[in-house]
Structure 1
Amino acid sequence: MRGRERGKPNSRGPCRVFLDSVAGGAWPMKKAVSIIAAAILLPSVGQAQEINPLPGLYVGAGGGLAWFLNTSTSIGGSITSSTGWGVGGLIGYDFVGPRIELEVAYGRVPITASTPLANFTGTAGQLQIMGKVLYDFFPASAFTPYVGAGAGIGFVDSNTALGSTVFAYQGIVGLGWNVDSQWRIALEGRYIGTTNPSVSIGGTNVTYSNNNFATILGAQYKFAPPAAAPPPPSAAPVAPPSFMVFFDWDSSRLSQASLNVVKQAADAYRAKGNARITATGHTDTSGSDQYNMALSLRRANAVKDALIRNGVPATAIAVIGRGEQGLLVQTGDNVREPQNRRVEIVVQ
């Protein structure tokens, strides 16, 4: 009975002092503290533009204003100054938060000295080399306040060629604007001090306190890290070998061409070693659902028997009947479509 099947940084005057200026300087302390206090209130603004901070080497340069803190000398009298200038350059490494820098700077300030031995007016200069440690409070924000300290060596104007060699130190407060992950604009205030330098005045060795304030505006550039090597391309998943045999209408008999395909599937099984085979039978949409389900199973079992004859163990073969489900060519009901009358053999 036939039914149907369906499918889905030089100075004048005998005595010279300077104020240091190192790649960054400082405003008077009250102003500097005010800046940082205000900056600490900016994190919520900075977070409006998040930066992707990366560790790396950077360079910078800056310049600004400097003031020598009025003082007295070891023989009496006083030294006063007006506003001077300072410039410097640096190289540093950013660990994202902590930073370290090596800085070279030079500056000059106008001074007036009044001592029991001599009175004069001129300029005083200082060259210094310092190592510094700094800390950014919000390295990932557009604006980040920071603090730092430095120590090193200074050369203050005196009667010798290099000047009076002194131990130099400084304290830093600043505010950085991270333009992006590589560029930063920094405004910072500094207190800069040294051990007491000396100068010879009229044959007398005179010392004085050397304390300074400076404010510097600078720019820094961080070198981009080397580009990461692209990951190796992922291997495309390899589909298991599959074969397909076709049948005449309402038949489960294997043609010679189909038997040749079954033999290829058996060869693939042996080449793969430990494998399993699934034989899934299908029908077209001519015939009833029940009839077509049974027919698809008969076709799958016919393939299983042929596989066994080609040396594949029966225990390695699974048989599935799907009837009209999984049409290879979508058709309406009661359509005799040869491409749908098949068994798919998968070796995996």
Structure 2
Amino acid sequence: MKKTLLAAAAALLALPAAANAQSSLFSSNPTNPGLYVGAQGGLNWLLNNNSYQMNTGWTAGGVVGYDFVGPRVELEAMYRSNFGTGTVAFPNGYANIYGQVQQVSVMANLLYDFLPGATITPYVGAGAGIAFVDSSIQGCSLCSTQFAYQGIIGIGWNVNENLRVNLDGRYYGTTNPGQYNNNNITTMLGVTYKFAQPAPAPVAPPPAAVQPPSFMVFFDWDRSNLTAQALGTIKQAAQAYQQKGNARITATGHTDTSGSEQYNMALSLRRANAVKDALVREGVPATAISVIGRGQQGLLVQTGPNVREPQNRRVEIVVQ
């Protein structure tokens, strides 16, 4: 039995290194801190000593704790029961007695998960608290109050953000309760449920600003008269105005860099007014149209002076 327990402990101690070496095999999940509750149970071996020879017993209990994502703290209550035989002194000599040793413990545990964001995470821990135990195999029930302590090593399976299954091995002991040395090895299977809030949803970016409809009318060099293509564009702008209902239109005239600034300023205004007149003919009220002349400012295509660039000879129509 001792060799088996030592082998199991050695295997559990190797788990953190193995988990780090093979962490690529474990799917990573987001995790959040939170309060958890759980139930657990398993097998308990009250190790053989000079006084008693105990059979394999059982243990069961519950925990309430808080997961800090890595470190965990918990309050644990457990009941342990073992049956066996012991030598008891009587006035006329000694006799072998079959009986029970019971233990109730309340422990504060501190644990650490090595891979808290992984599906499989090894952990270690330690605890201390108080225990109420039988003073002997045939003594009064749970009448001896003792200091209790334990060491824990195990592995957890994070089924999802809230549900977790733990399998661990423990050394549990108390100060001397009376007629036997109270040293225990326990294997425990437990399930916990964490009341963690789901990760906050990413904040949606603000909706993109809706750009008002705009249209571009182009002109021949040194001209402000409208081509057939320009008239078609102006008709589309008038339809956009009518669809909006209550809107305004801005017509901004531009020129290229050929000619003087004074002449081009006047030319840009003539072009903008020509567009306004065409919009009025399409049914847009004149009071809803603003006219601006910018001359050589605001070039669509950047050029040097005295360059005849067709893209710069234009009126921009914005419906808003």
Task: Look up the match of 1:124.
Answer: 101
* Structure 1 runs not aligned, ≥5 long: 1-26, 73-77, 199-206, 270-276, 283-289, 291-295, 327-340
Question: CA–CA distance in 1 between the matches of 2:68 and 2:249?
Answer: 57
Task: Look up the match of 2:36.
Answer: 58
Task: Look up the match of 2:286.
Answer: none
Following TM superposition, by how much is the alpha carbon of 1:70 offset from its aligned partner in structure 2, in angstroms?
Answer: 2.4
Are the structure 2 counterparts of residues 180 and 319 from structure 1 closer, same or farther at C-alpha, using a change threshold of 3 Å?
A: closer
For residue 141 of structure 1, what is the amino acid of its counterpart? Answer: A
The secondary structure found in structure 1 opposite 2:206 is coil
Within the candidate set 144, 155, 165, 1:185 is matched to 165
Checking the alignment, whether the CA contact within 8 Å between 2:44 and 2:185 is kept in structure 1 is yes
Task: Look up the match of 1:300.
Answer: 268
The secondary structure found in structure 2 opposite 1:173 is strand
Checking the alignment, whether the CA contact within 8 Å between 1:65 and 1:215 is kept in structure 2 is yes
Checking the alignment, whether the CA contact within 8 Å between 1:156 and 1:163 is kept in structure 2 is yes
Are the structure 2 counterparts of residues 93 and 174 from structure 1 closer, same or farther at C-alpha, using a change threshold of 3 Å?
A: same
Question: CA–CA distance in 2 between the matches of 1:179 and 1:45?
Answer: 19
Following TM superposition, by how much is the alpha carbon of 1:186 offset from its aligned partner in structure 2, in angstroms?
Answer: 2.0
The secondary structure found in structure 2 opposite 1:41 is helix
Following TM superposition, by how much is the alpha carbon of 1:167 offset from its aligned partner in structure 2, in angstroms?
Answer: 1.3
In the TM superposition, what are the counterparts of 1:152-191 in structure 2 within 5 Å? 152-158=129-135, 162-191=142-171
Within the candidate set 60, 71, 82, 2:49 is matched to 71
Task: Indicate yes or no: 2:186 matched with 1:214.
Answer: yes
Question: CA–CA distance in 2 between the matches of 1:218 and 1:343?
Answer: 77
Task: Look up the match of 1:82.
Answer: 55
Question: CA–CA distance in 2 between the matches of 1:321 and 1:168?
Answer: 84
Following TM superposition, by how much is the alpha carbon of 1:80 offset from its aligned partner in structure 2, in angstroms?
Answer: 2.0
The secondary structure found in structure 2 opposite 1:28 is helix
Question: CA–CA distance in 2 between the matches of 1:316 and 1:49?
Answer: 67
Checking the alignment, whether the CA contact within 8 Å between 2:255 and 2:295 is kept in structure 1 is no
Following TM superposition, by how much is the alpha carbon of 1:81 offset from its aligned partner in structure 2, in angstroms?
Answer: 0.6
Checking the alignment, whether the CA contact within 8 Å between 1:47 and 1:142 is kept in structure 2 is no
Task: Look up the match of 1:34.
Answer: 11
Q: Percent identity?
A: 47
TM-score, normalised by the number of residues in structure 2: 0.65
Task: Indicate yes or no: 2:202 matched with 1:239.
Answer: no
Question: CA–CA distance in 2 between the matches of 1:106 and 1:69?
Answer: 17
The secondary structure found in structure 2 opposite 1:32 is helix
Question: CA–CA distance in 2 between the matches of 1:298 and 1:315?
Answer: 9
Task: Look up the match of 1:100.
Answer: 73
Question: CA–CA distance in 2 between the matches of 1:316 and 1:89?
Answer: 84
Question: CA–CA distance in 2 between the matches of 1:135 and 1:319?
Answer: 65
* Larger relative contact order (Cα-Cα within 8 Å, sequence gap ≥ 6): 1
Are the structure 2 counterparts of residues 252 and 191 from structure 1 closer, same or farther at C-alpha, using a change threshold of 3 Å?
A: same
Following TM superposition, by how much is the alpha carbon of 1:86 offset from its aligned partner in structure 2, in angstroms?
Answer: 0.7
Question: CA–CA distance in 1 between the matches of 2:170 and 2:216?
Answer: 83
Q: Deviations over 1:10-36 (max 9, x none)?
A: xxxxxxxxxxxxxxxxx8344222332
The secondary structure found in structure 2 opposite 1:302 is helix
TM-score, normalised by the number of residues in structure 1: 0.61
Checking the alignment, whether the CA contact within 8 Å between 2:83 and 2:101 is kept in structure 1 is yes
For residue 34 of structure 1, what is the amino acid of its counterpart? Answer: A
Q: Deviations over 1:120-157 (max 9, x none)?
A: 21111111111101112222333322210001111112
Task: Look up the match of 1:115.
Answer: 88
Task: Look up the match of 1:136.
Answer: 113
Q: Deviations over 1:148-173 (max 9, x none)?
A: 00011111124556521211110011
Question: CA–CA distance in 1 between the matches of 2:82 and 2:198?
Answer: 43
* Structure 2 runs not aligned, ≥5 long: 227-233, 242-247, 259-263, 277-288, 302-308
What is the root-mean-square deviation in Å for CA atoms of aligned residues? Answer: 4.4
Question: CA–CA distance in 2 between the matches of 1:146 and 1:173?
Answer: 6
Checking the alignment, whether the CA contact within 8 Å between 2:218 and 2:311 is kept in structure 1 is no
Checking the alignment, whether the CA contact within 8 Å between 1:252 and 1:298 is kept in structure 2 is no
For residue 54 of structure 2, what is the amino acid of its counterpart? Answer: S
Following TM superposition, by how much is the alpha carbon of 1:231 offset from its aligned partner in structure 2, in angstroms?
Answer: 2.7
Checking the alignment, whether the CA contact within 8 Å between 1:100 and 1:133 is kept in structure 2 is yes
Question: CA–CA distance in 1 between the matches of 2:87 and 2:76?
Answer: 33
Task: Look up the match of 1:202.
Answer: none
Question: CA–CA distance in 2 between the matches of 1:110 and 1:56?
Answer: 39
Within the candidate set 175, 179, 203, 1:195 is matched to 175
Checking the alignment, whether the CA contact within 8 Å between 2:214 and 2:316 is kept in structure 1 is yes
Q: Deviations over 1:176-227 (max 9, x none)?
A: 23334433332211100111224xxxxxxxx432111111122233334145
Are the structure 2 counterparts of residues 342 and 172 from structure 1 closer, same or farther at C-alpha, using a change threshold of 3 Å?
A: same
Question: CA–CA distance in 2 between the matches of 1:312 and 1:152?
Answer: 86
